[in-house]
Amino acid sequence: MTPKARKKIRYIFKEVTIVAKIFAVVYFGGRQANSWLGQKALNDTGIAFQPYEAAVEQAIESGKPVLLEFGAVGCGSCRKLNSQVMADERVKQKIHDDYVAAHVEWTNEQDQPVFQHFGVQSFPQVLILDPNTGSYYRIPTTFDPEEFLKLI
């Protein structure tokens, strides 16, 4: 191989390496930013979401149904549901008064059996669960707080 060819190969290798590094930073940085924004939207709802098992126990004690929110912190639609619907003061008050709230997180391995049990394969999804009978129904996904209030 000629010195000129080696030099060209080194140049191409450096360029490919730079592009790969830029891609990695953008890709993984974007995922981290999405997750952070999703967790922030969930936290900003002000709803006292509990783990599934704790919510069921509290619901049995209180006689209230469980409002189960299935989502993922990296999911843009989940973030929209939390910031536009769940953060609405009227929705928060209704949930506080009438339900025990639970968030079931896709990225949490411990929550995977709950996803499987309820057959949830996409999100966001909201279910209302009767903790005594195990019966439940799905709330159609809406990003309108007024419509959501009518559904719950």
At 110-145, the pLDDT tens digits run 888 998 999 998 889 999 999 999 999 999 998 999
Name the residue with higher pLDDT: 3 or 134.
134
Task: Write down the pLDDT at residue 144.
Answer: 94
**Is 34's pLDDT higher than 90?**
no
At 19-28, the pLDDT tens digits run 655 554 555 5
Name the residue with higher pLDDT: 5 or 68.
68
Q: Where are the alpha helices (DSSP H) in 45-135?
A: 52-62, 76-81, 89-98, 112-118
Name the residue with higher pLDDT: 117 or 46.
117
**Residue (of 102, 110, 100, 33) closest to 73 by Cα position:** 33
Name the residue with higher pLDDT: 39 or 82.
82
Phi, psi of 133 (to 5 degrees): -100, -20
**Residue (of 47, 68, 38) closest to 56 by Cα position:** 68
Task: Write down the pLDDT at residue 114.
Answer: 92
| Domains detected in the chain | 43-151 (3.40.30.10)
Task: Write down the pLDDT at residue 139.
Answer: 92
Q: Order of strands, edge to edge, in the sheet holding 66-71? A: 100-105, 66-71, 125-129, 136-139
**CA-CA-CA-CA torsion for 103, 125, 93, 80, nearest 10 degrees?**
100
At 65-111, the pLDDT tens digits run 999 999 988 888 888 898 899 999 999 999 999 999 999 988 888 88
Which amino acid, residue 4?
A: K
Task: Write down the pLDDT at residue 6.
Answer: 75
Alpha-carbon distance of 12 to 19, in angstroms, equals: 11
Please say whether the beta carbons of 99 and 91 come within 8 A: no
Please say whether the beta carbons of 118 and 68 come within 8 A: yes
